[in-house]
Amino acid sequence: MSALSVTLGGESLELLPEGTIWWPSRSALMVADLHLGKAAVFRRAGLAIPEGDTRETLERLTTLIQRHRPAQVYLLGDIVHASPARDTALRQAIIDWRMGHAAVTMVAVLGNHDRRIAALRTCFDWQPEPFEAGGLWLHHHPPDAASTEGPWLAGHWHPVVKLRAGGDQLRLPAFVMLSDQGLILPAFGGLTGGHPVAPRPGQRRYPCSGQRVFLLD
């Protein structure tokens, strides 16, 4: 496993190959766009997509928590894909998972999918965006350059990069750094598609393969 260090607002952050961020000075793990319960939304609409993703996404997060032993976890929005009010199994899965990590503080920035989340009120410390932590501003929606308070982190885009060379082609989730002021995390949930991000001046992309993080431009 190899991480890649970047600096944002004077803070050193490690981009992890799993598409999450380890923030050593605050002993914090940051992760965006879990979209838990997405398969269930499909099934309720009559599309026969099997379950398994919610559990698997939470298990991957557990592995990261066990490895890094964070004091806190910051969730950058879209924790659930649809309201857990209608989905007892989803609610229970999240509550059970949370109980397993009771000692860890978990702050959840509200995303556009996190509606009617009363059932999960006690699970996370829900905060409207932006939420300030140690000099960094945590968003779900990447803010406009004009409306930023300072260096920020966000999700929402589900950034991926398409690599293409020598006849080969891959699509990988990626971190996107914008003019050294903002960092967008890839989606962590297993059943999340991606939004291709093209190269642009003043922007750096960091595709991650699960084993390694690369710097693209």
How far apart, in whole angstroms, are the C-alpha atoms of residue 131 and residue 154?
A: 11
Q: Closer to other proteins at the Cβ: 70 or 159?
A: 159
Q: Closer to other proteins at the Cβ: 49 or 104?
A: 49
CB of 98 to other proteins, least distance (A): 21
Q: Going by DSSP bridges, is the β-strand pair 4-8/21-23 parallel, antiparallel, or unpaired?
A: unpaired
Residue in the structure block whose two tokens are 């991957």: 60
Residue 196: HSE in the Cβ half-sphere, 13 Å Cα cutoff: 7
CB of 208 to other proteins, least distance (A): 9
Q: Closer to other proteins at the Cβ: 53 or 131?
A: 53
Query: Token pair for residue 5?
Result: 């260090």
Q: Closer to other proteins at the Cβ: 10 or 202?
A: 202
Residue in the structure block whose two tokens are 């001046």: 201
DSSP string, 163-181: EEETTEEEEEEEEEEETTT
CB of 89 to other proteins, least distance (A): 6
Give the number of other Cβ atoms within 10 Å of residue 215's Cβ: 13
Using CB under 8 A, list all residues that contact other proteins.
Answer: 39-53, 81-82, 87, 89, 113, 163-170, 172, 190-191, 193, 207, 209-212, 214, 216
CB of 53 to other proteins, least distance (A): 6
Give the number of other Cβ atoms within 10 Å of residue 25's Cβ: 11
CB of 17 to other proteins, least distance (A): 9
Query: Token pair for residue 134?
Result: 């140690």
Estimate to the nearest angstrom the gap between the alpha carbon of 147 and the chain centroid: 22
CB of 116 to other proteins, least distance (A): 14
Q: Closer to other proteins at the Cβ: 90 or 108?
A: 90
End-to-end CA distance of the chain: 21
Q: Closer to other proteins at the Cβ: 20 or 192?
A: 192
Whether residue 36 contacts residue 80, with contact meaning beta carbons closer than 8 Å, is answered with yes
